[in-house]
Structure 1
Amino acid sequence: MIATQTAVRVGPLLRDWRQRRRLSQLELALTAGTSARHVSFIETGRAQPSSDMVLRLAEHLDVPARQRNALLIAAGHAPVYQETPLDAPEMTAAREAVDKILAGHEPYPALVTDGAWNLIAANNGMGKLLASVAPELVAPPANVLRIALHPDGMAPRIVNLGEWRAHLLDRLRRQCQASGSETLAALYDEALGYGGEHEGPEHNSASDLVLPMRLRHGDLELSFFSTVATFGTPMDITLTELAIETFFPADEQTREFLHS
């Protein structure tokens, strides 16, 4: 009876992830090397999946590590992914790698965020982007999306605010869909509440290749594009959710300003 009850709990969760990925039971079964009948039995609670089966299905459903642990627990198994604080001794190598990237990117801005867009670290170059942001927005725990789009944040200085807002919200929306995170969904709803129009790219000279963020800084207009890097093959939840965003000058005026 206990096994059946646990299976009932994990079944709807797996079904939700399968439907989120728009896969049929047969499609999932074929990629995971099992039968559609077995997938159906798991989803309806008629079969209790082993930990290996839960992980195999989660892998082919591209379920994030944090939610894979939740599936394992719902199926009555122990979680396999640890969540180690970034300041723990065993994270020294990862921490040093992050610090090296941030320092090596100077004088250009760079920052590190967690899975909820919270600011973990930043280099000195970020100071130029954060000028005039309300102190309460940059006080811990600071959130990068709020810093960018809140009316008391960078938003009043972003020249192409409509298209930049649309870019950030689309990126967040895709993360919500991929992760099923209620925290991200709440952040998305909060950002929508800031108001403002959502515009597509203007396709001017700077955005022919990438969408820049055009920022007022005194009498200057600075233009940046960014790249986002993540850890390869992470086995810890903290590392799976870390993102390193590096900003580059999109024009010569911005490059000269950053080097001045």
Structure 2
Amino acid sequence: MRAPVGELVREWRDRRRISQLALAISADISTRHLSFVETGRSRPSREMVLRLGEHLDLPLRERNRLLLAAGYAPAYGESELAAPEMALVRDAVRRLLAGHDPYPAAVVDRSWNLVDANRSLALLTEGVSPDLLTGPVNVLRVTLHPDGMAPYVLNLGEWRAHLLGRLRRQVEQTADPVLSDLLTELRGYPCAQPVPEVEIPGPGDIFVPLRYRHRGTELSFFSTVATFGTPLDVTVAELVIESFYPADPATAEHLRQG
């Protein structure tokens, strides 16, 4: 059964830790009107629902959910990546991935499932169990699973804390039950190293590196994350491109030599 729109607005406002007054001021409506919406005494207009979704900083998927709960059609499409209208998006992603070689890069969806990757990503998955590389391939599971990349990650405790922190914040941002289940699963994986609760830099540290053993050679990477800047489609909004760069000259030379 679908929750009423007012209940959803109140849930998201509480999750964002925004008072009714603050949201009313931000969305330029009266607190009385917002209160009536939340209690179901007033049905918001379509424009009002979209405005509330914007000022609550909701993902496009959740804005559509608000609209449906209020009795309106979704405003944002959700196209299959293989659809003809997504050809420009696919081309842009492939150009970005190919241009990043010989450094690893991957594209993931909202659930951290692998959508596409460049050929250099194979360097990081070389020793991974084939079972984990059978679709859908979840990159967090591949990274932290004991049959995945975990045995080759030299700073597993540190990298694990970094990834679980990102996923935890994503769960808080989206309230996605699939991601919440994934977080619970990953927390159950073994790790012999200390896992810091808070990422505190040591002397000279400017990022959390991924220190990885490849064929007896220690490699060090830092990563960047990119998203589409002005998405109006749910699928496009949820695509994330993660690119890895060498964190020292020795790693850069190893990658250039292939």
TM range (shorter): over 0.9
Aligned-partner Cα distance in 1 for 2:90–2:58:
25
Pairwise CA distance, 1:143: 0.3
Q: Of residues 182, 193, 213 in structure 1, which corresponds to 2:210? A: 213
Does 2:188 match 1:193? yes
AA aligned to 2:210 is: M
Does structure 1 retain, via aligned residues, the 8 Å contact 2:146–2:190?
no
Q: SS at the partner of 1:125? A: helix
Aligned-partner Cα distance in 2 for 1:67–1:190:
24
Q: How does 1:124-163 map to 2 (within 5 A)?
A: 124-163=119-158
Q: Of residues 7, 14, 22 in structure 1, which corresponds to 2:9? A: 14
2:235 aligned partner? 238
Pairwise CA distance, 1:80: 0.8
AA aligned to 2:76 is: Y
Q: SS at the partner of 1:115? A: coil
Q: SS at the partner of 2:90? A: helix
AA aligned to 2:170 is: Q
Q: SS at the partner of 2:76? A: coil
1:250 aligned partner? 247
TM-score scaled by structure 2?
0.95
Pairwise CA distance, 1:195: 3.2
Aligned-partner Cα distance in 2 for 1:202–1:39:
41
TM-score scaled by structure 1?
0.94
Q: Of residues 104, 111, 121 in structure 2, which corresponds to 1:116? A: 111
AA aligned to 2:218 is: E
AA aligned to 2:153 is: I
AA aligned to 2:103 is: Y
Pairwise CA distance, 1:138: 1.2
Does 2:35 match 1:40? yes
Q: SS at the partner of 2:61? A: helix
Mark the CA change 1:201 to 1:74 in structure 2 (over 3 Å): closer, same or farther: closer
Pairwise CA distance, 1:202: 7.2
AA aligned to 1:233 is: T
1:226 aligned partner? 223
AA aligned to 1:140 is: G
Q: Percent sequence identity over matched residues?
A: 55
Q: SS at the partner of 1:191? A: helix
AA aligned to 1:231 is: F
5+ long unaligned stretches in structure 2: none
1:52 aligned partner? 47
Mark the CA change 1:125 to 1:204 in structure 2 (over 3 Å): closer, same or farther: farther
Query: How many residue pairs are counted as aligned between the two chains?
Result: 254
After the TM superposition, list the runs of 4 or more consecutive aligned residues in structure 1 that deviate by more than 3 angstroms. Answer: 200-205
Aligned-partner Cα distance in 2 for 1:36–1:22:
16
2:22 aligned partner? 27
Alpha-carbon RMSD: 1.6
AA aligned to 1:246 is: S
Aligned-partner Cα distance in 1 for 2:82–2:202:
43
AA aligned to 1:212 is: P
Aligned-partner Cα distance in 1 for 2:23–2:201:
40
